[in-house]
């Protein structure tokens, strides 16, 4: 590891075979090597700023990052903003509410406006699956998918992998159980793709009504019984029940859901002794996870948020300072 002023990976030294895709739209576009490059870069950034009074690197001075958020967000938007600012980029926060979008402006016209203003990166969250992919056709800057509909959320999966690696070491061969509303979860799909690429054994657990069509072709196992899937697992990742995306009834009652798919103290004890508990947030405490488990031993939920900033710094750094395909 280098001890120069900015002790992170020099993009010029990253071999072409390790170049990231131009845009970060899906974890399915990452190889084990490129995903590992992102995680290693995040680890170096963490080391570089640890214990510093000023936790800021000058790397992206003069570059502009636009946060284009069409859907509500707390963690992800703030995390990207902080990540870009810690790399000294200029950050513009655009939310659909209060912009010309509420006057009916299309995504394309908004994209052309950002293009004209010279955005180097556009971080996009949108309620429609595929919107960031469309955007990538219209802007010259790098597009980062910050969650599109029920499709993908690649930086969440990367921060989850980073958190897993910090606690479990090597991800390959680890048994990870992902539980809950897979049907509406972009976090689940991005995680399954990434964790499978990194060699983990992933099991999805959900009621049949909350699994998407075609889940059989995903690179993971599927189980309907949480008590069957949990024993000895290295990590469990709980998903939020996404009521805002539910038109109909997907389970009889909330109580019934919690009883069958909620993580309580008894179930948590089924994990391996070193097992950890993850949740992307926001949590429905008392529904998919008991407060005592969310706040208890082996819960890394708050740490995930902190790691999110570091991992997003790594992504912005690698995309904007050159270690990506042009
Ligand atoms: C997730 C999201 O928005 O997809 N949250 C997040 O980004 N931290 C998961 C969720 O909303 O349940």
Beta bridge partners of 66: 92, 122
191 CB within 6 A, ligand 1: no
Q: Count CB neighbours of 133 within 10 A.
A: 17
Of all helices (H) and strands (E), which one includes residue 197?
helix 186-197
Numbered ranges of CATH 3.40.50.1370 in the chain: 11-152+306-320, 154-304
Tokens 């990506």 belong to 324
Q: Is 11 in the pocket of ligand 1 (CB under 6 A)?
A: no
Residue 96: partners with Cβ closer than 8 Å, 6 or more residues away: 69, 70, 71, 102
Give the DSSP letter string of 76-108.
Answer: HHHHHHHHHHHTT-EEEEEESTTSGGGGT--HH
| Whether residue 282 has a cis bond before it, omega within 30° of 0 | yes
pLDDT of 75-95, one tens digit each? 999 999 999 999 999 999 988
Ligand 1 site, residue 147, Cβ cutoff 6 A: yes
CB atoms < 10 A from the CB of 108, how many? 12
180 ligand 1 Cβ < 6 A: no
Question: Residue 245: CB within 6 Å of ligand 1?
Answer: no
CATH code of the domain occupying 11-152+306-320: 3.40.50.1370
144-177: per-residue pLDDT in tens? 999 999 999 999 999 999 999 999 999 999 999 9
Are 267 and 232 within 8 A, CB to CB? no
User: What's the CA-to-centroid distance between 302 and ligand 1, angstroms?
Assistant: 14
Distance 182 CA to ligand 1 centre (A): 12
Is residue 263 classed as helix, strand or coil in its secondary structure? strand
Task: Quickly name the fold that domain 154-304 has.
Answer: Rossmann fold (3.40.50)
pLDDT in tens, the chain (326 residues): 333 444 566 666 666 667 889 999 999 999 999 999 999 999 999 988 888 888 888 889 999 999 999 998 889 999 999 999 999 999 999 887 777 776 667 889 988 888 888 899 999 999 999 999 999 999 999 999 999 999 999 999 999 999 999 999 999 999 999 999 999 999 999 999 999 999 999 999 999 999 999 999 999 999 999 999 999 999 999 999 998 888 778 888 889 999 999 999 999 999 999 999 999 999 999 999 999 999 999 999 999 999 999 999 999 999 998 766 54
pTM for the whole thing?
0.94
Is residue 49 classed as helix, strand or coil in its secondary structure? helix
């Amino acid at each position: 590891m280098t001890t120069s002023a900015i002790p992170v990976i020099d993009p010029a030294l990253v071999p072409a075979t390790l170049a990231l895709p131009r845009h970060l739209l899906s974890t399915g576009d990452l190889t084990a090597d490129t995903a590992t490059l992102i995680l290693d870069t995040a680890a170096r950034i963490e080391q570089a700023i640890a214990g510093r009074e000023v936790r800021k690197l000058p790397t992206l001075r003069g570059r502009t990052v636009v946060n284009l958020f069409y859907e509500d967000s707390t963690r992800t938007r703030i995390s990207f903003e902080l990540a870009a600012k810690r790399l000294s980029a200029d950050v513009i926060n655009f939310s659909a509410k209060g912009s010309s979008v509420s006057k009916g402006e299309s995504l394309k016209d908004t994209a052309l406006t950002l293009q004209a203003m010279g955005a180097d990166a556009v971080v996009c969250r949108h309620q429609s699956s595929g919107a960031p992919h469309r955007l990538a056709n219209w802007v010259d800057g790098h597009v980062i998918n910050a969650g599109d509909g029920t499709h993908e959320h690649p930086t969440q999966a990367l921060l989850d992998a980073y958190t897993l690696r910090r606690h479990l070491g090597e991800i390959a061969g680890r048994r990870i159980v992902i539980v809950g509303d897979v049907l509406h979860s972009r976090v689940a799909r991005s995680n399954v793709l990434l964790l499978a690429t990194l060699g983990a054994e992933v099991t999805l657990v959900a009621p049949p009504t909350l699994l998407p069509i075609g889940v059989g072709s995903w690179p993971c196992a599927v189980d309907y019984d949480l008590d069957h899937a949990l024993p000895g697992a290295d990590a469990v990742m709980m998903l939020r029940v996404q009521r805002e995306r539910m038109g109909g009834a997907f389970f009889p009652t909330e109580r019934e859901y919690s009883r069958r798919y909620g993580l309580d103290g008894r179930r948590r004890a089924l994990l391996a002794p070193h097992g950890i508990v993850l949740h992307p947030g926001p949590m429905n405490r008392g529904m998919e996870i008991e407060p005592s488990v969310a706040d208890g031993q082996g819960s890394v939920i708050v740490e995930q948020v902190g790691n999110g900033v570091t991992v997003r710094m790594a992504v912005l750094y690698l995309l904007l300072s050159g270690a990506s395909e042009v």
